[in-house]
Structure 1
Amino acid sequence: MPEGHSIHRLARQLTDVFANQQLAVSSPQGRFTDGAALLHGHRLIRSFAHGKHLFAEFSNDLYLNVHLGIYGAFTFGGDERFTGASSIGAPRKIGEQEDHSQELSAKPPAPRPTTRARLVSEHGWADLVGPTICRVLTADEVARVRSQLGPDPLNPDADPQAFYARARKTSRPIGVALMDQKVISGVGNIFRAESLFRCGIDPFRPARECSSSELEALWGDNKHLLEIGVRVGRIITTEPADRPGVSEYEAWPEHANYVYHHQGQACLRCGSTIALQEVAGRKLYWCPGCQR
Protein backbone atom coordinates (compact mmCIF):
# COMPACT_ATOMS: atom_id res chain seq x y z
CA MET A 1 0.00 0.00 0.00
CA PRO A 2 1.39 3.46 -0.88
CA GLU A 3 2.58 5.36 2.18
CA GLY A 4 1.79 8.98 2.89
CA HIS A 5 4.55 10.57 0.84
CA SER A 6 3.16 8.99 -2.36
CA ILE A 7 -0.29 10.46 -1.77
CA HIS A 8 1.19 13.93 -1.18
CA ARG A 9 3.16 13.56 -4.42
CA LEU A 10 -0.01 12.53 -6.20
CA ALA A 11 -1.93 15.50 -4.80
CA ARG A 12 0.78 17.87 -6.01
CA GLN A 13 0.78 16.27 -9.44
CA LEU A 14 -2.99 16.56 -9.83
CA THR A 15 -2.82 20.21 -8.82
CA ASP A 16 0.10 20.88 -11.15
CA VAL A 17 -1.55 19.50 -14.25
CA PHE A 18 -5.26 20.15 -13.66
CA ALA A 19 -5.68 23.18 -11.37
CA ASN A 20 -8.21 25.74 -12.68
CA GLN A 21 -9.03 23.53 -15.67
CA GLN A 22 -12.48 22.26 -16.58
CA LEU A 23 -12.43 18.47 -16.49
CA ALA A 24 -14.44 15.79 -18.19
CA VAL A 25 -14.98 13.17 -15.50
CA SER A 26 -16.27 9.71 -16.31
CA SER A 27 -16.29 6.16 -14.97
CA PRO A 28 -15.46 3.74 -17.79
CA GLN A 29 -15.88 0.83 -15.40
CA GLY A 30 -19.31 2.08 -14.34
CA ARG A 31 -18.83 1.80 -10.57
CA PHE A 32 -18.37 5.57 -10.14
CA THR A 33 -20.89 6.82 -12.71
CA ASP A 34 -23.07 8.82 -10.32
CA GLY A 35 -20.08 10.42 -8.61
CA ALA A 36 -18.43 11.26 -11.92
CA ALA A 37 -21.60 13.00 -13.09
CA LEU A 38 -21.44 15.32 -10.05
CA LEU A 39 -17.90 16.44 -10.95
CA HIS A 40 -18.10 16.42 -14.75
CA GLY A 41 -17.63 19.81 -16.38
CA HIS A 42 -16.36 21.56 -13.26
CA ARG A 43 -12.91 23.02 -12.57
CA LEU A 44 -10.44 21.37 -10.25
CA ILE A 45 -9.40 23.93 -7.65
CA ARG A 46 -6.72 22.02 -5.75
CA SER A 47 -5.75 18.62 -4.45
CA PHE A 48 -4.35 17.77 -1.03
CA ALA A 49 -3.58 14.73 1.08
CA HIS A 50 -4.20 13.69 4.65
CA GLY A 51 -2.27 10.53 5.34
CA LYS A 52 -3.33 7.96 2.76
CA HIS A 53 -6.46 9.89 1.74
CA LEU A 54 -6.46 12.10 -1.36
CA PHE A 55 -8.93 14.98 -1.68
CA ALA A 56 -9.51 16.94 -4.89
CA GLU A 57 -11.65 20.06 -4.55
CA PHE A 58 -13.87 21.09 -7.48
CA SER A 59 -15.44 24.44 -8.30
CA ASN A 60 -18.93 23.26 -7.31
CA ASP A 61 -17.76 22.79 -3.67
CA LEU A 62 -17.60 19.01 -3.98
CA TYR A 63 -14.55 16.84 -3.40
CA LEU A 64 -13.25 13.67 -5.00
CA ASN A 65 -11.97 11.44 -2.16
CA VAL A 66 -9.68 8.55 -3.05
CA HIS A 67 -7.91 5.95 -0.93
CA LEU A 68 -5.73 3.79 -3.16
CA GLY A 69 -5.57 0.86 -0.76
CA ILE A 70 -3.36 -2.03 -1.87
CA TYR A 71 -4.23 -2.15 -5.56
CA GLY A 72 -5.16 1.41 -6.50
CA ALA A 73 -3.08 3.53 -8.85
CA PHE A 74 -3.24 6.69 -10.98
CA THR A 75 -1.69 6.84 -14.44
CA PHE A 76 -1.16 10.07 -16.37
CA GLY A 77 -0.63 11.06 -19.98
CA GLY A 78 -0.93 14.00 -22.30
CA ASP A 79 0.62 16.11 -25.02
CA GLU A 80 3.78 18.21 -24.87
CA ARG A 81 1.94 20.84 -22.79
CA PHE A 82 0.92 18.33 -20.12
CA THR A 83 3.77 19.23 -17.77
CA GLY A 84 4.11 20.75 -14.35
CA ALA A 85 6.28 21.15 -11.31
CA SER A 86 6.88 17.71 -9.90
CA SER A 87 6.97 16.96 -6.20
CA ILE A 88 10.77 17.24 -6.21
CA GLY A 89 10.62 20.78 -7.56
CA ALA A 90 11.79 20.28 -11.15
CA PRO A 91 9.48 20.90 -14.13
CA ARG A 92 9.11 17.57 -15.86
CA LYS A 93 6.51 15.22 -17.23
CA ILE A 94 4.35 13.90 -14.43
CA GLY A 95 5.10 10.50 -12.95
CA GLU A 96 7.32 8.84 -10.36
CA GLN A 97 9.54 7.66 -13.22
CA GLU A 98 9.24 9.44 -16.53
CA ASP A 99 8.75 7.23 -19.57
CA HIS A 100 10.26 9.05 -22.52
CA SER A 101 9.28 6.27 -24.88
CA GLN A 102 5.56 6.92 -24.41
CA GLU A 103 3.90 8.68 -27.32
CA LEU A 104 2.68 12.14 -26.37
CA SER A 105 -1.02 12.62 -27.02
CA ALA A 106 -3.79 14.62 -25.39
CA LYS A 107 -6.25 11.93 -26.36
CA PRO A 108 -6.37 9.19 -23.72
CA PRO A 109 -6.07 5.56 -24.74
CA ALA A 110 -8.97 3.13 -24.56
CA PRO A 111 -9.71 2.63 -20.86
CA ARG A 112 -8.99 -0.62 -19.14
CA PRO A 113 -11.94 -2.64 -17.81
CA THR A 114 -10.85 -1.69 -14.29
CA THR A 115 -10.70 2.10 -14.83
CA ARG A 116 -12.84 3.46 -12.00
CA ALA A 117 -12.49 7.14 -12.89
CA ARG A 118 -11.04 9.16 -15.76
CA LEU A 119 -10.17 12.86 -15.64
CA VAL A 120 -9.58 14.58 -18.99
CA SER A 121 -8.42 18.15 -19.61
CA GLU A 122 -7.56 19.94 -22.83
CA HIS A 123 -4.00 18.66 -22.80
CA GLY A 124 -3.99 15.47 -20.76
CA TRP A 125 -5.72 12.84 -18.70
CA ALA A 126 -5.49 10.74 -15.54
CA ASP A 127 -6.92 7.28 -14.96
CA LEU A 128 -7.68 5.74 -11.57
CA VAL A 129 -7.84 1.97 -11.20
CA GLY A 130 -8.40 -0.32 -8.25
CA PRO A 131 -8.96 2.09 -5.34
CA THR A 132 -10.39 1.03 -2.01
CA ILE A 133 -12.35 4.32 -1.84
CA CYS A 134 -13.54 6.52 -4.71
CA ARG A 135 -16.40 8.83 -3.79
CA VAL A 136 -17.68 12.40 -3.83
CA LEU A 137 -17.93 14.30 -0.54
CA THR A 138 -19.13 17.69 0.63
CA ALA A 139 -16.83 20.00 2.60
CA ASP A 140 -18.52 18.93 5.87
CA GLU A 141 -18.01 15.28 5.00
CA VAL A 142 -14.34 15.90 4.22
CA ALA A 143 -13.95 17.54 7.62
CA ARG A 144 -15.55 14.51 9.30
CA VAL A 145 -13.24 12.08 7.52
CA ARG A 146 -10.17 14.11 8.49
CA SER A 147 -11.33 14.42 12.11
CA GLN A 148 -11.24 10.64 12.41
CA LEU A 149 -7.64 10.45 11.22
CA GLY A 150 -4.50 11.04 13.22
CA PRO A 151 -2.36 14.07 12.40
CA ASP A 152 -0.32 13.93 9.20
CA PRO A 153 3.29 15.08 9.77
CA LEU A 154 3.42 16.44 6.21
CA ASN A 155 0.55 18.87 6.73
CA PRO A 156 1.52 22.36 8.01
CA ASP A 157 -1.43 22.45 10.41
CA ALA A 158 -0.72 19.02 11.92
CA ASP A 159 -0.79 18.93 15.72
CA PRO A 160 1.78 16.45 17.11
CA GLN A 161 0.11 16.71 20.51
CA ALA A 162 -2.80 14.67 19.09
CA PHE A 163 -0.33 11.90 18.20
CA TYR A 164 1.26 12.00 21.64
CA ALA A 165 -2.12 11.86 23.39
CA ARG A 166 -3.40 8.95 21.33
CA ALA A 167 -0.18 6.98 21.73
CA ARG A 168 -0.27 7.43 25.51
CA LYS A 169 -3.78 5.98 25.66
CA THR A 170 -2.97 2.57 24.18
CA SER A 171 -1.21 -0.45 25.63
CA ARG A 172 -0.57 -1.81 22.15
CA PRO A 173 3.09 -2.01 21.08
CA ILE A 174 4.40 1.23 19.66
CA GLY A 175 5.19 -0.71 16.48
CA VAL A 176 1.47 -1.41 16.10
CA ALA A 177 0.29 2.05 17.14
CA LEU A 178 2.41 3.71 14.46
CA MET A 179 0.49 1.75 11.81
CA ASP A 180 -2.89 2.94 13.13
CA GLN A 181 -4.05 5.79 10.88
CA LYS A 182 -6.20 7.09 13.74
CA VAL A 183 -3.02 7.61 15.79
CA ILE A 184 -0.77 9.08 13.10
CA SER A 185 -1.55 9.40 9.38
CA GLY A 186 0.65 8.44 6.47
CA VAL A 187 3.05 6.11 8.27
CA GLY A 188 3.16 2.64 6.74
CA ASN A 189 5.21 -0.48 7.25
CA ILE A 190 8.51 0.90 5.97
CA PHE A 191 8.41 4.23 7.80
CA ARG A 192 7.27 2.40 10.95
CA ALA A 193 10.22 0.01 10.95
CA GLU A 194 12.81 2.56 9.91
CA SER A 195 11.80 5.34 12.31
CA LEU A 196 11.74 2.95 15.26
CA PHE A 197 15.23 1.77 14.32
CA ARG A 198 16.56 5.30 13.83
CA CYS A 199 15.14 6.34 17.21
CA GLY A 200 16.44 3.20 18.94
CA ILE A 201 13.03 2.16 20.27
CA ASP A 202 11.94 -1.42 20.92
CA PRO A 203 8.93 -1.94 18.61
CA PHE A 204 7.27 -4.20 21.20
CA ARG A 205 7.25 -1.64 24.01
CA PRO A 206 3.69 -0.58 24.93
CA ALA A 207 3.05 2.80 23.36
CA ARG A 208 1.88 4.31 26.64
CA GLU A 209 5.26 3.46 28.18
CA CYS A 210 7.19 5.51 25.63
CA SER A 211 8.59 8.71 27.08
CA SER A 212 7.67 12.16 25.83
CA SER A 213 11.10 12.53 24.27
CA GLU A 214 10.71 9.21 22.44
CA LEU A 215 7.30 10.15 21.04
CA GLU A 216 8.65 13.55 19.99
CA ALA A 217 11.59 11.82 18.31
CA LEU A 218 9.25 9.49 16.41
CA TRP A 219 7.10 12.38 15.22
CA GLY A 220 10.11 14.41 14.12
CA ASP A 221 11.82 11.51 12.39
CA ASN A 222 8.71 10.40 10.50
CA LYS A 223 8.17 13.98 9.37
CA HIS A 224 11.78 14.12 8.18
CA LEU A 225 11.60 10.78 6.36
CA LEU A 226 8.23 11.55 4.77
CA GLU A 227 9.62 14.84 3.45
CA ILE A 228 12.52 12.96 1.87
CA GLY A 229 9.99 10.59 0.29
CA VAL A 230 8.06 13.50 -1.21
CA ARG A 231 11.25 15.05 -2.57
CA VAL A 232 12.91 11.91 -3.93
CA GLY A 233 9.87 9.81 -4.79
CA ARG A 234 11.21 6.81 -2.88
CA ILE A 235 11.57 5.90 0.79
CA ILE A 236 15.19 6.65 1.68
CA THR A 237 15.92 6.33 5.39
CA THR A 238 19.68 5.83 5.59
CA GLU A 239 21.99 8.64 6.62
CA PRO A 240 24.76 9.72 4.21
CA ALA A 241 27.41 8.45 6.66
CA ASP A 242 25.97 4.93 6.35
CA ARG A 243 26.07 4.97 2.52
CA PRO A 244 29.29 6.89 1.74
CA GLY A 245 29.44 8.12 -1.82
CA VAL A 246 25.82 7.18 -2.55
CA SER A 247 23.35 10.07 -2.92
CA GLU A 248 19.75 9.81 -1.76
CA TYR A 249 18.67 9.70 -5.41
CA GLU A 250 20.91 6.68 -6.02
CA ALA A 251 20.32 4.87 -2.73
CA TRP A 252 17.30 2.79 -3.72
CA PRO A 253 17.09 -0.14 -3.35
CA GLU A 254 20.39 -1.49 -2.02
CA HIS A 255 21.32 1.43 0.24
CA ALA A 256 17.85 2.83 0.96
CA ASN A 257 16.89 1.33 4.33
CA TYR A 258 18.38 0.00 7.56
CA VAL A 259 16.09 -2.87 8.56
CA TYR A 260 13.20 -3.15 6.10
CA HIS A 261 13.67 -6.30 4.00
CA HIS A 262 17.09 -6.82 5.58
CA GLN A 263 16.14 -9.75 7.83
CA GLY A 264 19.03 -12.12 8.45
CA GLN A 265 21.60 -9.48 7.47
CA ALA A 266 24.02 -7.68 9.77
CA CYS A 267 22.92 -4.32 11.11
CA LEU A 268 24.94 -1.48 9.59
CA ARG A 269 25.40 0.12 13.00
CA CYS A 270 25.91 -2.66 15.54
CA GLY A 271 26.39 -5.84 13.53
CA SER A 272 23.47 -7.69 15.12
CA THR A 273 21.26 -9.82 12.87
CA ILE A 274 18.16 -7.98 11.65
CA ALA A 275 15.02 -9.75 12.87
CA LEU A 276 11.63 -10.30 11.25
CA GLN A 277 8.37 -11.19 12.96
CA GLU A 278 4.73 -10.96 11.95
CA VAL A 279 2.86 -8.65 14.29
CA ALA A 280 -0.83 -7.77 13.92
CA GLY A 281 -0.83 -9.28 10.45
CA ARG A 282 2.13 -7.25 9.14
CA LYS A 283 5.83 -8.00 8.87
CA LEU A 284 7.89 -6.10 11.42
CA TYR A 285 11.64 -5.63 10.93
CA TRP A 286 13.98 -4.49 13.71
CA CYS A 287 17.48 -4.75 15.13
CA PRO A 288 17.62 -6.54 18.52
CA GLY A 289 20.95 -4.85 19.23
CA CYS A 290 20.03 -1.25 18.52
CA GLN A 291 16.39 -1.45 19.69
CA ARG A 292 16.62 -2.86 23.20
Structure 2
Amino acid sequence: MSQYTQQPQFPQAPTPAAQARNGLGTAALILGIIGALSGLIPFFFWLAGILGIIALVMGLAGRGRAKRGGATNKGVALAGAILGLISLIMSVVGAVILFKAVDDAVDDINKATSSSSATKESGDGSAKSDGKNKGKKGKGGAAGEDAETLAAGDSAVYEDKLTVTASAPEPYTPGEYAIGHTKGNKAYKVTVVIDNAGTKKFDAALVTAEARAGAEGVKAEQIFDEKVGELFTGTLAPGKKATAVYAFDTPADAENLVVEISPDFSHDASQWDLKL
Protein backbone atom coordinates (compact mmCIF):
# COMPACT_ATOMS: atom_id res chain seq x y z
CA MET A 1 0.00 0.00 0.00
CA SER A 2 1.30 3.43 -0.90
CA GLN A 3 2.70 5.47 1.93
CA TYR A 4 0.88 8.59 0.70
CA THR A 5 -2.79 8.77 -0.02
CA GLN A 6 -3.67 11.01 -3.02
CA GLN A 7 -6.21 13.69 -2.11
CA PRO A 8 -9.07 14.15 -4.55
CA GLN A 9 -8.98 17.35 -6.69
CA PHE A 10 -12.12 19.56 -6.71
CA PRO A 11 -12.67 22.20 -9.40
CA GLN A 12 -12.46 25.77 -8.06
CA ALA A 13 -15.21 28.29 -8.78
CA PRO A 14 -14.12 31.11 -11.12
CA THR A 15 -13.33 34.45 -9.50
CA PRO A 16 -16.26 36.81 -10.16
CA ALA A 17 -15.35 39.64 -12.53
CA ALA A 18 -15.45 43.18 -11.15
CA GLN A 19 -18.63 45.01 -12.08
CA ALA A 20 -18.12 47.74 -14.69
CA ARG A 21 -18.55 51.25 -13.31
CA ASN A 22 -20.06 53.12 -16.26
CA GLY A 23 -21.92 55.78 -14.30
CA LEU A 24 -19.51 58.66 -14.99
CA GLY A 25 -19.55 58.21 -18.76
CA THR A 26 -23.32 57.85 -18.94
CA ALA A 27 -23.93 60.89 -16.75
CA ALA A 28 -21.45 62.93 -18.83
CA LEU A 29 -23.30 62.06 -22.03
CA ILE A 30 -26.71 63.02 -20.60
CA LEU A 31 -25.48 66.29 -19.15
CA GLY A 32 -23.61 67.10 -22.35
CA ILE A 33 -26.75 66.64 -24.45
CA ILE A 34 -28.84 68.81 -22.13
CA GLY A 35 -26.11 71.46 -22.04
CA ALA A 36 -25.78 71.57 -25.83
CA LEU A 37 -29.56 71.92 -26.25
CA SER A 38 -29.62 74.71 -23.65
CA GLY A 39 -26.85 76.50 -25.53
CA LEU A 40 -29.14 76.85 -28.55
CA ILE A 41 -31.14 79.44 -26.57
CA PRO A 42 -28.93 82.45 -25.67
CA PHE A 43 -30.98 83.16 -22.53
CA PHE A 44 -29.91 79.80 -21.07
CA PHE A 45 -26.18 80.38 -21.63
CA TRP A 46 -25.59 80.06 -17.88
CA LEU A 47 -27.20 76.60 -17.77
CA ALA A 48 -25.20 75.44 -20.78
CA GLY A 49 -22.00 76.64 -19.10
CA ILE A 50 -22.66 74.84 -15.81
CA LEU A 51 -23.70 71.58 -17.46
CA GLY A 52 -20.84 71.83 -19.93
CA ILE A 53 -18.21 72.03 -17.19
CA ILE A 54 -19.72 69.10 -15.29
CA ALA A 55 -20.07 66.97 -18.43
CA LEU A 56 -16.49 67.71 -19.50
CA VAL A 57 -15.03 66.76 -16.09
CA MET A 58 -17.17 63.63 -15.72
CA GLY A 59 -16.49 62.57 -19.32
CA LEU A 60 -12.72 62.81 -18.88
CA ALA A 61 -12.92 60.98 -15.57
CA GLY A 62 -15.08 58.25 -17.11
CA ARG A 63 -12.67 57.86 -20.03
CA GLY A 64 -9.76 57.48 -17.62
CA ARG A 65 -11.68 54.85 -15.66
CA ALA A 66 -12.37 52.96 -18.90
CA LYS A 67 -8.67 53.00 -19.77
CA ARG A 68 -7.87 51.43 -16.39
CA GLY A 69 -10.45 48.70 -17.03
CA GLY A 70 -12.92 49.93 -14.47
CA ALA A 71 -15.56 50.79 -17.08
CA THR A 72 -16.61 49.56 -20.51
CA ASN A 73 -18.15 52.70 -22.03
CA LYS A 74 -15.06 54.57 -23.15
CA GLY A 75 -16.83 55.90 -26.25
CA VAL A 76 -19.81 57.15 -24.28
CA ALA A 77 -17.56 58.99 -21.85
CA LEU A 78 -15.61 60.56 -24.71
CA ALA A 79 -18.85 61.70 -26.37
CA GLY A 80 -19.99 63.25 -23.09
CA ALA A 81 -16.70 65.15 -22.75
CA ILE A 82 -16.96 66.46 -26.32
CA LEU A 83 -20.56 67.57 -25.80
CA GLY A 84 -19.49 69.28 -22.57
CA LEU A 85 -16.85 71.24 -24.47
CA ILE A 86 -19.41 72.18 -27.14
CA SER A 87 -21.79 73.34 -24.41
CA LEU A 88 -19.10 75.61 -22.99
CA ILE A 89 -18.45 77.17 -26.39
CA MET A 90 -22.17 77.69 -27.00
CA SER A 91 -22.50 79.21 -23.55
CA VAL A 92 -19.89 81.85 -24.36
CA VAL A 93 -21.50 82.61 -27.73
CA GLY A 94 -24.97 82.83 -26.16
CA ALA A 95 -23.73 85.20 -23.46
CA VAL A 96 -22.17 87.50 -26.07
CA ILE A 97 -25.37 87.53 -28.17
CA LEU A 98 -27.62 88.16 -25.16
CA PHE A 99 -25.50 90.95 -23.68
CA LYS A 100 -25.13 92.65 -27.06
CA ALA A 101 -28.91 92.53 -27.61
CA VAL A 102 -29.49 94.07 -24.18
CA ASP A 103 -26.92 96.82 -24.85
CA ASP A 104 -28.51 97.61 -28.22
CA ALA A 105 -31.97 97.79 -26.65
CA VAL A 106 -30.74 100.13 -23.92
CA ASP A 107 -29.03 102.35 -26.51
CA ASP A 108 -32.23 102.53 -28.58
CA ILE A 109 -34.27 103.47 -25.52
CA ASN A 110 -31.76 106.15 -24.55
CA LYS A 111 -31.74 107.58 -28.08
CA ALA A 112 -35.54 107.64 -28.22
CA THR A 113 -35.72 109.33 -24.81
CA SER A 114 -33.10 111.91 -25.79
CA SER A 115 -34.86 112.68 -29.07
CA SER A 116 -38.21 113.07 -27.31
CA SER A 117 -36.76 115.43 -24.70
CA ALA A 118 -34.97 117.52 -27.32
CA THR A 119 -38.16 117.80 -29.39
CA LYS A 120 -40.27 118.99 -26.47
CA GLU A 121 -37.68 121.59 -25.50
CA SER A 122 -37.22 122.97 -29.00
CA GLY A 123 -40.90 122.81 -30.01
CA ASP A 124 -40.15 120.87 -33.19
CA GLY A 125 -43.43 118.98 -32.85
CA SER A 126 -45.50 121.86 -34.26
CA ALA A 127 -46.72 121.99 -37.84
CA LYS A 128 -45.29 124.42 -40.31
CA SER A 129 -45.61 125.34 -43.95
CA ASP A 130 -42.99 123.94 -46.29
CA GLY A 131 -43.31 125.52 -49.73
CA LYS A 132 -46.27 124.10 -51.64
CA ASN A 133 -46.71 121.23 -49.23
CA LYS A 134 -47.70 121.65 -45.61
CA GLY A 135 -45.17 120.06 -43.32
CA LYS A 136 -44.84 118.76 -39.81
CA LYS A 137 -41.47 118.37 -38.19
CA GLY A 138 -40.29 116.60 -35.10
CA LYS A 139 -40.08 113.28 -33.28
CA GLY A 140 -41.79 112.06 -30.14
CA GLY A 141 -44.81 113.52 -28.37
CA ALA A 142 -48.43 112.52 -28.65
CA ALA A 143 -49.95 111.85 -32.03
CA GLY A 144 -51.40 115.02 -33.49
CA GLU A 145 -50.20 117.20 -30.59
CA ASP A 146 -50.03 120.81 -31.88
CA ALA A 147 -50.15 119.29 -35.36
CA GLU A 148 -51.95 120.60 -38.41
CA THR A 149 -54.35 118.37 -40.29
CA LEU A 150 -53.09 117.97 -43.83
CA ALA A 151 -55.02 117.89 -47.09
CA ALA A 152 -54.76 115.53 -50.04
CA GLY A 153 -51.31 115.73 -51.63
CA ASP A 154 -49.74 117.49 -48.63
CA SER A 155 -46.59 116.09 -47.06
CA ALA A 156 -45.58 115.60 -43.45
CA VAL A 157 -41.88 116.52 -43.25
CA TYR A 158 -39.92 115.46 -40.18
CA GLU A 159 -36.70 116.88 -38.79
CA ASP A 160 -34.70 113.89 -40.05
CA LYS A 161 -36.01 114.68 -43.57
CA LEU A 162 -38.40 111.76 -43.66
CA THR A 163 -41.39 112.79 -45.78
CA VAL A 164 -44.82 111.13 -45.84
CA THR A 165 -47.37 112.06 -48.52
CA ALA A 166 -50.98 110.89 -48.87
CA SER A 167 -52.94 111.20 -52.11
CA ALA A 168 -56.58 112.13 -52.65
CA PRO A 169 -58.96 109.20 -52.13
CA GLU A 170 -60.18 107.34 -55.20
CA PRO A 171 -63.28 105.12 -55.38
CA TYR A 172 -62.35 101.46 -55.22
CA THR A 173 -64.25 98.27 -55.95
CA PRO A 174 -63.09 95.47 -53.60
CA GLY A 175 -62.50 92.00 -54.99
CA GLU A 176 -64.87 89.12 -54.51
CA TYR A 177 -62.91 87.74 -51.57
CA ALA A 178 -61.94 91.06 -50.02
CA ILE A 179 -61.55 91.31 -46.25
CA GLY A 180 -62.76 94.39 -44.36
CA HIS A 181 -65.50 95.50 -46.75
CA THR A 182 -69.15 95.59 -45.64
CA LYS A 183 -71.92 95.30 -48.21
CA GLY A 184 -73.64 98.65 -48.72
CA ASN A 185 -70.58 100.68 -47.76
CA LYS A 186 -68.28 102.47 -50.13
CA ALA A 187 -64.56 101.85 -50.54
CA TYR A 188 -61.77 104.32 -51.28
CA LYS A 189 -58.08 103.81 -51.87
CA VAL A 190 -55.32 106.17 -50.75
CA THR A 191 -51.74 106.04 -52.00
CA VAL A 192 -49.06 106.75 -49.39
CA VAL A 193 -45.48 107.59 -50.40
CA ILE A 194 -42.58 107.65 -47.96
CA ASP A 195 -39.41 109.49 -49.05
CA ASN A 196 -36.31 108.97 -46.91
CA ALA A 197 -34.29 112.08 -47.74
CA GLY A 198 -32.23 111.74 -44.56
CA THR A 199 -28.89 110.09 -43.90
CA LYS A 200 -30.04 107.07 -41.90
CA LYS A 201 -31.97 103.95 -42.82
CA PHE A 202 -35.69 103.87 -42.02
CA ASP A 203 -37.54 100.71 -40.97
CA ALA A 204 -40.63 100.89 -43.17
CA ALA A 205 -42.10 97.75 -41.59
CA LEU A 206 -43.19 99.83 -38.58
CA VAL A 207 -45.49 102.10 -40.62
CA THR A 208 -49.16 101.83 -39.61
CA ALA A 209 -52.30 103.40 -41.08
CA GLU A 210 -55.72 104.04 -39.55
CA ALA A 211 -58.76 105.95 -40.78
CA ARG A 212 -62.06 107.43 -39.59
CA ALA A 213 -64.94 108.42 -41.83
CA GLY A 214 -67.80 110.92 -41.70
CA ALA A 215 -68.75 113.62 -39.25
CA GLU A 216 -69.06 111.07 -36.45
CA GLY A 217 -65.54 109.76 -36.99
CA VAL A 218 -66.60 106.14 -37.46
CA LYS A 219 -63.64 103.81 -37.78
CA ALA A 220 -63.01 102.93 -41.41
CA GLU A 221 -61.85 99.33 -41.67
CA GLN A 222 -58.85 98.66 -43.88
CA ILE A 223 -59.61 96.47 -46.89
CA PHE A 224 -57.39 93.61 -47.98
CA ASP A 225 -57.66 91.82 -51.30
CA GLU A 226 -55.44 90.83 -54.21
CA LYS A 227 -54.85 94.47 -55.24
CA VAL A 228 -54.69 96.53 -52.05
CA GLY A 229 -53.60 95.99 -48.48
CA GLU A 230 -49.93 95.22 -49.05
CA LEU A 231 -48.08 96.99 -46.23
CA PHE A 232 -44.70 98.69 -46.22
CA THR A 233 -41.90 96.18 -45.60
CA GLY A 234 -38.14 96.13 -45.24
CA THR A 235 -35.69 98.95 -44.71
CA LEU A 236 -35.72 102.19 -46.69
CA ALA A 237 -32.19 103.38 -47.48
CA PRO A 238 -31.32 107.10 -47.59
CA GLY A 239 -32.50 108.73 -50.80
CA LYS A 240 -35.06 105.99 -51.53
CA LYS A 241 -38.86 106.02 -51.72
CA ALA A 242 -41.52 103.42 -50.98
CA THR A 243 -45.20 103.36 -51.96
CA ALA A 244 -48.16 101.49 -50.53
CA VAL A 245 -51.85 101.61 -51.47
CA TYR A 246 -54.38 101.44 -48.64
CA ALA A 247 -58.13 100.97 -49.11
CA PHE A 248 -60.72 101.85 -46.48
CA ASP A 249 -64.37 100.90 -46.00
CA THR A 250 -66.64 103.92 -45.31
CA PRO A 251 -70.34 104.48 -44.70
CA ALA A 252 -72.19 105.35 -47.89
CA ASP A 253 -73.08 108.86 -46.66
CA ALA A 254 -69.58 109.79 -45.42
CA GLU A 255 -68.22 113.00 -46.93
CA ASN A 256 -64.70 112.90 -45.60
CA LEU A 257 -62.02 110.40 -44.58
CA VAL A 258 -59.38 111.19 -41.95
CA VAL A 259 -56.29 109.06 -42.54
CA GLU A 260 -53.59 108.82 -39.88
CA ILE A 261 -50.13 107.54 -40.79
CA SER A 262 -47.66 106.67 -38.05
CA PRO A 263 -44.10 106.11 -39.39
CA ASP A 264 -42.77 104.43 -36.23
CA PHE A 265 -42.43 104.86 -32.48
CA SER A 266 -40.01 107.81 -32.73
CA HIS A 267 -42.05 109.91 -35.21
CA ASP A 268 -45.35 111.66 -34.54
CA ALA A 269 -48.38 110.36 -36.39
CA SER A 270 -49.69 112.67 -39.13
CA GLN A 271 -53.30 113.13 -40.25
CA TRP A 272 -54.88 113.94 -43.61
CA ASP A 273 -58.50 115.14 -43.88
CA LEU A 274 -59.55 113.88 -47.29
CA LYS A 275 -62.74 114.91 -49.05
CA LEU A 276 -64.74 112.03 -50.55
TM-score grouping bracket, smaller chain normalisation: under 0.3
Higher relative contact order at CA 8 Å, sep ≥6: structure 1 or structure 2?
1
Q: Which has the higher helix share?
A: 2
TM-score (norm. length: structure 2): 0.18
Question: What's the TM-score once normalised by structure 1's chain length?
Answer: 0.18
